[in-house]
Amino acid sequence: MNVEQLLEVKPEELAEGLLARWKALEEQLPNVIRNLEAEEESLSPRVKRAVEAHRKANETVAEKKSERDSSQVVARAKLSEVKESIESLSNKGGMISLDPEWKKVKLLEELENIEDKIETSALDHKEEGKLIAKRRKLIEKNEKWLKERRESNPEMTKYVDSRKTMISNFRVSEAAHSRMLKAVEKAQPLYEKKISMQSEIRDVRRQLDRARELYAQSSDAISMWKGKLSTGFGDSETGFDDLLTDMNRVLEGGASSFARKRVKNKGDEEE
């Protein structure tokens, strides 16, 4: 429809079209609103579950990251201690093993000898008890030897303990980092699902708000256009302006509202 055809539309035709449109909306919108409300009700718990699943996944990531970082802090601190101990022991010529291999071998041989006798000899409870007691004393003796050796070389003890703690924490850190990466991988699709569902429910709620707004306006709009059709246009008693006053003036050769306003403004400036 071009401009001339549009200008030829009578006010009554326009009002009837708008009235029909508002009546159709008033009739159709309740069903639209019910459907949108049902869709929102269906989506809400799913969105809630998606948000909760992603939150828990993020908590796991944060937990593993914290575990990794705290273990790294401890391990790095112990690394500095290990370096200091190595330097100190090297300068003093004290880099000797607290538990040398020959001592371990001797202990294992004696323990194996006792175990062999217990398993292969026909011993009564008393004899077997004696061997078990001997085994216990042998272990206690070895522990005592190690303790005395450590006490005689405290710098080496510090080195061994620091190194053990360092290695343990580095391993914990590596394991936590690996679990963190798996948690991140698991969280990514949960995040994408959450974003998708939140977008979907926002769209439904926008449509629902708009439908409710139009339905709330429909009764007044229908009354207004019925009034215009029954009382006419431009009737001062109804308080409505003539919608086509400016158009009719232009068609009759008069100035448009814009031209009249420009002339008025020019006159005001000359005064």
Distances (CA, A) of 237 to 194, 231, 242: 57, 9, 12
pTM of whole model > 0.85?
Answer: no
Residue 237 in any domain: the answer is no
Which of the residues in the chain have pLDDT under 70?
Answer: 1, 3, 6-7, 89-90, 92-108, 111-112, 114-126, 128-129, 131-132, 135, 139, 142-143, 145-150, 152, 232-271
Domain count of the fold of the chain: 1
Residue 176 domain boundaries: 20-206
- CATH code, domain carrying 141: 1.10.287
Residue 8 in any domain: the answer is no
Residue 212 in any domain: the answer is no
How many CA atoms, within 13 angstroms, populate the side-chain half-sphere of residue 150? 12
Tokens of 85: 């101990």
Give the angle subtended at the CA of 148 by the CAs of 143 and 150, to the nearest 5°: 95
Residue 256 in any domain: the answer is no
pLDDT digit string, tens, across residues 209-228: 999 999 999 999 999 888 87
CA dihedral sign of residues 236, 237, 242, 245: negative
Q: Are 265 and 254 in contact (CB under 8 A)?
A: no
How many CA atoms, within 13 angstroms, populate the side-chain half-sphere of residue 203? 6
pLDDT digit string, tens, across residues 25-43: 999 999 999 999 999 999 9
Residue 162 in any domain: the answer is yes
